[in-house]
Amino acid sequence: MSGGTLDRTEQISFRMDEEEPGRYLPMVKKGEIQREFEPEDMPRVLDFDGAVEAPIDGTLMFCVEAGQEETKFYTYHFCLRGGFLFYFDIEDVDDNAGPYVTYHGPPKGVVPLDNVEVDYPPGGRRLFREHAQSEASRGYEIVMRHEPAEEGEEFRAPSFLVADSLTRREKWADAIRSRSEMKLPTLLRAGYSSARMAATAVGANDTPAPSATQSTKASVRNEENIDSNKLSSSKGAAGKLSNMHQQVLRVSDDTNLAGAVMEFGTADFDETAWLNHFFQSHNDADAVAKCEAMEKWQMDMKRDLKGAVLEQYEYFVQASGEMTTMGQEVTALKDQIEKQKVILNEMKAIDFTGSTNDDDRDEIMGREQDEDELPEDDLDAGRFGRKGVDEKTFFSELSSLDEGLASGQRRSRDAEEEEDIEDAPPIDVPDWLDDTVEDIESFVRECRYSDAIELYLKAKSEIADLMDKHERPTAYRLTLKQRDTLRSIKKQLEALGQKISDRLDDSLRRRNEAIRQVSKRERGDMAALLMPTISPCAINDDALYLQLLVKMGRNKEAADAFIARRSLVLLDTLNESPISGAGSVDLVIYAAQLSQSFFSSLATSVESFLDLFLSSHSNMNGEANEDISMDASSLQSLSSKNLPAGATASVVLWCDAELTKFANAFGGARILSNLALSPPPRDEPKKPRVVGGGPAEDGMKDRKTALDVAAQCIDQAFSYAAANLDGVGLPLTPRLAECIRARLKGCEAEISLLLDDKWDHLTKTWRSGGEELNGSDHMGI
């Protein structure tokens, strides 16, 4: 019997675990000999042919109901092979899923699948009611119940499996049912170690058993050899030899062969030292017997190697035959596809409109001739071809025929155009367009947005040029395949462009939010009041991403991100601490400081907005804007030329909103709320005007002083607004006057008289209706 034949007799059996009831351990059985299942045996276990495909190996929760007081589920790595369900400790498995894994330890146990019924929880539930409060409460459970086929057969406790999804539970249940019904032994695949074991077992029967004296001498000789080579002092070498000895004994019962492998299989084997040790305790007669035994071992090893090589060659021949069959099937499939393509092209060339329309027209003309021959009573019936068909149905049929004729003519024209395109010379499409999408995706993964956008714009421009060249009345045309490829690339480029713009927008939004949180935190810190919260570097670090968004054509997103960052700067100017005290003169100085900081920052933001779009536009057009003078760099002069309408509208609305914020701060607790501007009550003229003040005359004097201070503060605001905003094309001073007027507490007429004459065009409306109020106030006083 050959080594391969003996290997096929190896099969899996099981035994009860004495330490834990309800658990079964796998065994490898060969004839009457059984041994423990090793991790190296797992890849050799064969599955059943014709069974339902086994699920991918993976983790499941497992429990055996063996009379324990508390049901507890454990997570193991499960493998379904043949008639057994193996489960390993997760730490003994390199990968939690997939067939190509490495096992570092034997299985924790197996579940035999012979005579097993698989059931689901009743009522369509996910798990059994008894396990609702266990670790398996979130999974999908099945139970495997053993039903003994014969009387006296040992009954096995039910086992429970819990999967993490309904689909996985269905797959495992179907695969287990299929293997339980087959009732076949689970075999092991043939391997070199098993073939060697079989051949050695055959040869060992012809070898005479050594005597006790020879065994004793061999053991003494092995000990002396180990001592001479200093193997006893090295734990690693001793462990290696012991492991080798166990492996040989596991595949063969020949202890002499195991001793020979240990004795002659070491890397530092010395022939001279071995001979010296041998003849120190043996004579020439023993040498002849030793030579015969060594020749026998050598023949056994050669036979084992030859059997293994022949077995591997047999596998190679089988694989070669399978590959040849697959190649023939692929060739046949390719021929069928070619035939189908020829049939489809012939069907496209068929013109169904010619014969069909001619027959229909002849039928209609025949009907009209029959109408002339019919009597007048049957004229209606003859006109529409048959009785019971009305005029509406007739004309609908006629219109459908006309539509069919038109569609046929259209298809004929398209076919002619396609023939012309096929005959025309094709347009050369650059090869780099095929790799554009992949290159842009790699740039995006590496966050190289500049390179990605440059390649994106270049590809879009190239595709547009090719499609435009195809539409021109020239001799060159794009083929159908080229057009489909260009459309596909264009569609993918649009998706990539949206992805890039979303990433840029999200990055700008996260940066702005971080700066907002830092500014909010530092405004509450008293030690940070004397230093600016946002530095110029932090303001301009978004310039690159904004330019990229403008290049991508996302002008609205770029304007929104620009506005969000500059709003933080203007908010810091409104929260700036005064550089003076709390007197009247100091209040005017603070008003000038606040106005100068706010309006200069607002004007700088508008100029940055203009530079953003002008620089991006000039870069895209190749410096085509040299005719624009430096004096015309204002919002009004450039809005109609290069600035997008949506972005310009967003910035203008933002300026108006920021101006309202300034008016609220200026007319609130910062400036005007510190002044007693409201006139005294008419009913109580003698009541003190200010808390802690004197008589009414002192109150009027203080109010006049407050009006003078308010007029000076408003004059500062108007001056800085006009000086900064008019230069960038945003004359928002009239809008500022309207916002401040609403916070003057009814004294706008008096303040307009105190303001300089150059602001009359802004405060003229303040005096309408205000002079009468001024006169009535003096009369009351």
Strand partners, 114: none
Tell me, yes or no, whether 640 lies in a domain: no
Is 376's pLDDT higher than 60? no
Do the domain assignments include residue 438? Answer: yes
522 and 671 share one domain: no
Neighbours of 674 (CB within 10 A): 17
167 with 293, same domain? Answer: no
Residue 771 has pLDDT above 50, yes or no: no
- Residue 748 has φ and ψ, to the nearest 5°, of -65, -30
pLDDT at 360 over 60: no
What lies within 8 Å, CB to CB, of 690 at 6+ separation is 676, 699, 702
Under 8 Å between Cβ of 663 and 714: no
Q: Is 67 in the same domain as 27?
A: yes
Would you state the pLDDT for residue 279?
Answer: 84
| pLDDT over threshold 80, residue 561 | yes
Task: Kindly indicate the confidence band of residue 219, based on its pLDDT and cuts at 50, 70 and 90.
Answer: very low
Mean predicted confidence (pLDDT) in 592-620 = 78
Of 344, 366, 388, the position where a domain reaches its end is 344
End-to-end CA distance of the chain: 133
Per-residue model confidence (pLDDT) at position 579: 66
Question: For position 36, what pLDDT does the model report?
Answer: 93
pLDDT per position as a tens digit, 640-672:
456 777 777 878 888 888 888 888 888 887 788
Max mean pLDDT among 87-91, 250-254, 645-649, 668-672 falls in 87-91
pLDDT higher than 60, residue 386: no
Q: How many domains does the chain have?
A: 4
For 88, the domain range is 11-188
My answer on whether 601 and 530 are in the same domain is no
| Residue 279 within a domain | yes
**Rounded-to-integer distance, Cα 225 and Cα 344, Å:** 82
Q: Say how far apart CA 314 and CA 4 lie, in whole Å.
A: 11
Give residue-wise pLDDT tens across range 681-731: 655 555 554 444 455 566 677 788 888 888 888 888 888 888 888 877 778
Q: Are 654 and 712 within one domain?
A: yes
Query: What distance separates the 2 farthest-apart alpha carbons in the chain?
Result: 151
Among residues 344, 376, 395, the one where a domain terminates is 344
CB-based contacts of 365, cutoff 8 Å, min separation 6: none
Q: Residue 158's domain is classified under what CATH number?
A: 2.30.29.30
> Is the pLDDT reported for residue 378 higher than 90?
no
Band (pLDDT 50/70/90 cuts) for residue 226 is very low
Distance of CA 769 to CAs 738, 741, 747, 775, 776, Å?
Answer: 16, 14, 11, 11, 11
pLDDT at residue 374 in the model? 47
520 and 596 in a common domain: no
As a whole number, mean pLDDT of residues 464-475 equals 82
Q: Is residue 602 part of a domain?
A: yes
In this structure, the answer to whether residues 590 and 556 fall within a common structural domain is: no
Task: Please report whether residue 543 resides in a domain.
Answer: yes
Q: How confident is the model at residue 61 (pLDDT cuts 50, 70, 90)?
A: very high
Higher pLDDT: 243 or 499? It is 499
Does residue 570 sit in the same domain as residue 592?
no
Asked whether residue 546 is domain-assigned, the answer is yes
Same structural domain, 538 and 607: no
Residues 541 and 565 in one domain: yes
Region of poorest pLDDT, from 35-39, 159-163, 748-752? 748-752
What's 441's domain CATH number?
1.20.58.1210
Instruction: Report the 10 Å Cβ neighbour count for 553.
Output: 15
152-153-157-162 Cα dihedral, nearest 10 degrees:
-150
One domain, residues 30 and 167: yes
Residues 667, 717: one domain?
yes
Q: Which pair of structure tokens corresponds to residue 78?
A: 């499960």
Inside any domain, residue 733: yes
DSSP 670: I
- 500 phi, psi to nearest 5 deg: -65, -45
Neighbours of 203 (CB within 10 A): 19
Q: Which amino acid is at 757?
A: D
Does residue 668 sit within a domain? yes
Whether the per-residue pLDDT at 195 is higher than 50: the answer is no
Look at residues 169, 188, 207 and tell me which one is the last residue of a structural domain.
Answer: 188
